[in-house]
Amino acid sequence: MSLRGRIIGTGSYVPKNILTNFDIGKMVDTSDEWITERTGIKERRIAGEGEAASDLSLQASKRALSEAGIKPNEIDMIIVATMSGDMPMPSTAAILQGKLGAKNAAAFDINGACSGFLYGLSVADSFIKSGMSKKLLLVGVDVNSRFINWQDRSTCVLFGDGAGAVVMKPTRTKRGILSTHLHSDGDLWDLICLPGGGSRHPASSESIKNNLHCIKMKGNETFKAAVRTLEKLALNTLKANNIKPSQLAMLIPHQANLRIIKAMAKRLGLPMSKVVVNLDRYGNTSGASIPIALDEAVREGRVRSGDYILFEAFGSGLTWASALVRW
Ligand code: UT7
């Protein structure tokens, strides 16, 4: 059996503050009915004052490490997938390394936006396959609420905050990460972007006045691109592993829109009982959505040893990614 990465512990954390559709209805011209019908979202979590990406990551990581029975100083690598880290530098992974006391770990962030966790899973698996990492912590975290224009109803209803983490180690069994598939199309970078605060539009009173530090999205174009792309991605991922959709125990999709998720399930012929959905409670938590959904599925006892689980995500870049895992 060839060497591959295997997830041996999961953890997640969402902030306590809940913002419902009714709360948002008091801020902009929208309604619970519109948001529920078009997205499936009912409420989302908002990080408290002073609560940043590394704080959410710390809670999720502690839970994943405890589940895996691994001490922080045994971890040799920390990867954080985020587009809303504590600050541009240092990396959120480095800050997390310090907070955890993971003294023997290298640490870096990757930015794959909503596909970030699956990009991270692929990078993590590669480090494990090459022998460079023996015990790895991968976190998906986003504090989207800090980058929302709360007057823009086309985006403020969609996003939420949260973190999910997994601990991985090598295996030579039939279990683990069977394959990962990564894609991008930078020609469509402006479908979802946060243009301010980088070297293109550094922070200035002008950039702040124009809300350049907030997420912008061409929702409907993104929606169509997501449905088109994800169907092909899922079928290709199964084909690469000689697996039929009927052999899947579970689909864990990125939680952006219930209509996108239902279209995927229908295309694969999967009943919704095999699909993990939590966007009704958390909205779109970007890089955190898949690891939070995985952790909840594990803790609810929905995942069994030997199960085939398909993960897929789509987001800014554009990027899209998938993974087939045997639990
Ligand atoms: O995680 C990264 C990937 N992200 C995604 O995959 C998100 C993909 N996009 C979507 O989920 C959907 O496109 C949205 C939920 C964002 C929007 O749904 P839609 O069915 O594509 O609506 P739309 O943008 O075409 O807008 C339809 C109407 C417009 O009004 P008119 O022009 O028809 O009069 C909008 O102004 O809905 C209006 N609208 C709203 N109305 C009430 C837009 N946002 C709202 C709102 N409340 N919050």
**pLDDT band for position 160 (50/70/90)?**
very high
Separation of CA 71 and ligand 1 centre (Å): 45
* Pocket flag, ligand 1, residue 151 (CB < 6 Å): no
Point out the ligand 1 atom lying closest to the alpha carbon of residue 257.
11
Distance CA 237, CA 323 (A): 7
Q: Mind telling me the catalytic residues?
A: 114, 254, 284
Would the CB of 222 count as within 6 Å of ligand 1?
yes
CATH of 4-173, one of 3.40.50.300, 3.90.1580.10, 2.30.300.10, 3.40.47.10: 3.40.47.10
* % of the chain residues with pLDDT over 90: 99
* Atom 30 of ligand 1, nearest CA residue: 154
Give, in words, the CATH class of 178-326.
alpha beta
Q: Alpha-carbon distance 285 to 292, whole Å?
A: 9
| Spatial distance between the Cα atoms of 108 and 125, rounded to a whole number of angstroms | 15
Q: Residue written as tokens 């409907």?
A: 220
pLDDT the model gives residue 166: 98
Q: State pTM to two decimals.
A: 0.97
pLDDT tens figures, 27-71: 999 999 999 999 999 999 999 999 999 999 999 999 999 999 999
Distance, CA 284 to ligand 1 centroid (Å)?
14
pLDDT, tens digit (0-9, with 9 covering 90-100), for 199-251:
999 999 999 999 999 999 999 999 999 999 999 999 999 999 999 999 999 99
The answer for residues whose C-beta is within 8 angstroms of residue 49's C-beta and 6 or more apart is none
Average pLDDT over residues 89-97: 98
CB distance 106 to 45 below 8 Å: no
The predicted pLDDT at position 16 comes to 98
Gap between the terminal Cα atoms of the chain: 16
CA of 215 to the centre of ligand 1 (A): 14
What are the domain boundaries of the chain?
A: 4-173, 178-326
**Residue whose CA lies nearest to ligand 1 atom number 38:** 154
Q: How far apart are CA 307 and CA 327, in angstroms?
A: 5
Q: Is 155 a pocket residue for ligand 1 (Cβ < 6 Å)?
A: no
Torsion sign, CA atoms 265, 19, 154, 200: negative
pLDDT band (50, 70, 90) for residue 1: confident
The residue type at 1: M
What tokens were used for 107?
Answer: 């640490």
